[in-house]
Amino acid sequence: MLRIILGAIGAAFCGVLLIAFGTGAYNHLTEPAAVTVEQEFHLQPKALHLASDGPFGKFDRRQLQRGFQVFKEVCSACHSLRLVAFRDLQALGYTEAEVKAIADQWAIQQPAVDPETGEATTRKSIAADRFPLPFPNEVAARAANGNALPPDQSLMTKTHHGGAAYVYSILTGYQDQPPELLKKFPDAKTGTGLHYNPYFANLNLAMAPPLNDGQVTYSDGTAATVDQMAQDVSAFLVWTAEPKLENRHSAGIATVAFLIVFSVLTFLSYRNIWAGRPH
């Protein structure tokens, strides 16, 4: 009797599942979900080719230095680089003296308070320090950026689909909303304080276009166009996210070469051992 009851319960449960599945499939076929403005107008990242791409890629250190200059003079006003230390910049080709001079330009806030002014005390950075935060806390960061929190850029190219191409596309993708978007989705008009960018997930960014032609002056004479600066800082952020990339590529190539040689030797040994023996 118990088996019959349990069997009936199982059959009823399976029946409910089949009815739910059938109802859902029917509704999906007869009433497809409405396409959202993000689904229709969001664009995939633009193509971007960097020297570090591919299994044989190596960093273009002149480009990395230009990218660091863009970060220092433009991005660091709002964005942090909390996983990178000043001394790491020697990998970009800077000398120890140059790294010390760069660190000296940043002030580190300390937990102590100046008894005379009541303000937080600061000290000069040293090469061993990591890049300081541009704001003392999240509240201050949001207050200065329209309640939006500027993300840390240390791992930006690792945490976003598209990597460096995503960063490059965001920086060069600001534009006016297309008329067809407003015609089809009149309620999707970009609000006050936001900026339309089809490469961002919800199409609207609180960050204003950060780059303008000639905004920095490159010491190597490269023209500082928006496109060039976007490429350079994207390449720099690839390095911050994976500074050992070249070592990984070298290790991978050496490993593949070893496996190929080992496979050939193993095959030749096999042929030699079994040569002349009946199969």
Q: What is the pLDDT of residues 8-39, one digit of tens each?
A: 777 777 777 777 776 666 555 666 566 788 88
Is the pLDDT at 279 greater than 60, yes or no? no
In 83-231, DSSP assigns E strands to 107-113, 120-124, 195-196, 204-205
pLDDT per position as a tens digit, 202-234: 999 999 999 999 999 999 999 999 999 999 999
CB atoms near residue 97 (< 10 Å): 8
Cα–Cα distance, 252 to 272 (Å, whole number): 30
CB atoms near residue 242 (< 10 Å): 17
CA separation (Å) from 247 to 61, 173, 261? 15, 33, 21
Percent of the chain with pLDDT over 90: 67
Is the pLDDT at 194 greater than 70, yes or no? yes
Q: What is the mean pLDDT of residues 268-278?
A: 76
pLDDT score recorded for residue 33: 60
pLDDT score recorded for residue 224: 97
- What does the buried/exposed string (b/e) look like for 29-63 if buried means 16 or more CB atoms within 10 Å of the residue's CB? eeeeeeeebeeebeeebeebebebeeeeeebbebb
Is the pLDDT at 181 greater than 90, yes or no? yes
- What average pLDDT does the chain have? 89
Determine if the pTM surpasses 0.75. Answer: yes
Q: Which of 43, 29, 27, 38 lies closest to 184, judged by CA?
A: 38
Q: 3-class DSSP state for residue 272? A: helix
3-state secondary structure 153-195: CCCHHHHCCCCHHHHHHHHHCCCCCCHHHHHHCHHHCCCCCCE
